Amino acid sequence: MNARELFALSPYGATVRFSNGQPKPPARFNKKLREWESHNSAGRFVRAEQADPSAQYSREGFVLQTRHAIIIMQMCFGLEGSNTFEIEQTPPPGTILAFTKFGRDLELQAVCLTEGEARKWWDRNRHSTSRILEIVAENGERLPFTLSEPGEPFGITGEHAGEAMRLLASAGAS
C-alpha cells in the first residue's frame, strides 16, 4: 500500500513494515546494508499529522517509531513518498494506548497489553502535556477512558463504558 492509504487505514500502535523497493545488498557491504536497513524496516505507527492551512509550511504525513539497540528513532513520511507500506500487526482488542498532545495532533507514547502495564506507565511518565488513554475495541475503534484512584479499576468515560470494561476484563484474563 502507498503512504496515503496507510495514513487513512493504519490504527495507532500498528506495526508497519516499510520499503523503498531496493534489493537487499550482500552482508559484506556493511555501509550499504546499514543504509538499506534504514529505508527498509518496520516501526510502530505513533502520529498522524494533519495539514494546517494557516501555517507557513505544513504537510500531511505520519511518523513511525523504530528501535535500534538503545536508540529510539522516529521516521517521518509524507503522503506523496514512493515507499511501500504493509501493516504487519494491529493492536489486539483490550490493548491500552497512551497518548500525549503534540501540537494539534496526538502522539502515541505507549502500547500496554494489561491494566497493570498501563498503571505503571502512567505513574512513571508524568508528562506536562495532556495525557489521554484509549482502549482498542474488537472493531478497531478507540474508546477513551480515565484512571481512577490506585487499587481501583479504570474509570471508563463515554457511551461505550460497558464494552470498554468488558475488553479490560478479557484482556486481563488472557
Full-model pTM: 0.73
Digit-coded pLDDT (tens) for 128-165: 565 667 777 777 777 776 655 444 455 555 555 566 66
Digit-coded pLDDT (tens) for 52-93: 666 555 556 777 777 665 667 788 888 888 889 999 998 888
Q: Identify residue 142 by its one-letter amino acid code.
A: R
Provide the 3-class DSSP secondary structure of residue 166.
helix
> What secondary structure does DSSP assign to 32-93, as a single string?
HHHHHHHHSEEEEEEEEE---TTSSS---EEEEEEEETTEEEEEEEETT---EEEEEE-PPT
The CA distance from 120 to 115, in Å, is 9
